[in-house]
Amino acid sequence: NAGVTQTPKFRVLKTGQSMTLLCAQDMNHEYMYWYRQDPGMGLRLIHYSVGEGTTAKGEVPDGYNVSRLKKQNFLLGLESAAPSQTSVYFCASRRQGNSNQPQHFGDGTRLSIL
């Protein structure tokens, strides 16, 4: 009964390094999302996907790329990390169909860029 699993849970990077955050869900959900949470700003949508092989930009997409090669996985990439990308990153998923389906969240990845 894992739900939405994010790896890693913590990471420290140096400016300019690259990395990929992995989100996996076992609920057969079609829709998946990446958010960032910063103090005093609430969660903001980075990118999202409405199905395997499709992605779309959210509110703050610059500096990030995503891929959805498999339905259960949604990857978030930072090509060249910057201190402004220090944040807590959350992945979420939801079932397709009725737009009132709630989103289910992972426990987050805490990322620090030095």
Partner 1 sequence: KQEVTQIPAALSVPEGENLVLNCSFTDSAIYNLQWFRQDPGKGLTSLLLIQSSQREQTSGRLNASLDKSSGRSTLYIAASQPGDSATYLCAVRRNTDKLIFGTGTRLQVFP
Secondary structure element (H or E) that encloses residue 44, with its range:
strand 42-51
**Residue 103 interacts with partner 1 (CB under 8 A)?**
yes
Is residue 86 a contact point for partner 1 (CB under 8 A)?
A: no
CB of 24 or CB of 106, closer to partner 1:
106
Taking the C-alpha atoms of residue 40 and residue 98, their distance in angstroms, rounded to an integer, is 31
Is 60 near partner 1 (CB under 8 A)? Answer: no
The verdict on 99 binding partner 1 (CB under 8 A) reads yes
Q: Which of 94, 97, 55, 101 is nearest to 76 (CA)?
A: 55
Give the sign of the dihedral formed by CA 107, CA 110, CA 13, CA 76: positive
Residue 42 binds partner 1 (CB under 8 A)? yes
Residues of this chain that interact with partner 1 (CB under 8 A) are 4, 31, 40-45, 48, 50, 58-59, 90, 92, 99-100, 102-108
